[in-house]
Amino acid sequence: MTDQPDFIYFECGDCGFDSVQREDFKGSSYCPLCAGDSGHDVLMKTRTANSDDKPEGFDARKGTRAEQEAVKAAADRAEQIRYTCSICGAKSDRPFPASAISCMRPECKA
């Protein structure tokens, strides 16, 4: 377990929600889940983040929110492409016809 002084670990004492933010974080220190679910404000406890922290919420150590969303979107797209034509290499999220020996695209010459 190594301390990471450039990051702050936030944890809600009521619901257990946690996140890691940059040391210069200017947002709210109140739990967003408790505020959304029950409407009451619960101040999250803070401490220096360490390498063993695995937050449920945002983790600033993995990059900005935009960078993390781009990585997730790419992973989602990669998961959608499950079928590959063995002849031309075309990729699809739908299966190719069972009776076909290729993907049946005009570019596939099989």
Whether 37 shows a pLDDT value over 70: the answer reads: no
- Is 66 strand, coil or helix? helix
Provide the whole-model pTM.
Answer: 0.63
Distance in angstroms (rounded) separating the CA atoms of residues 76 and 69: 10
Distance in angstroms (rounded) separating the CA atoms of residues 80 and 74: 10
Q: What is the arithmetic mean of pLDDT over 35-40?
A: 74
Across 3-35, b (16+ Cβ under 10 Å) vs e yields: eeeebbbbbbeeeebbbbbeeeeeeeeebbebe
* Tens-place pLDDT, residues 45-71: 999 999 999 999 999 999 988 898 898
Distance in angstroms (rounded) separating the CA atoms of residues 78 and 73: 9
Whether 110 shows a pLDDT value over 60: the answer reads: no
Q: Which residues contact 60 (CB under 8 A, 6 or more apart)?
A: 7, 20, 21, 22, 25
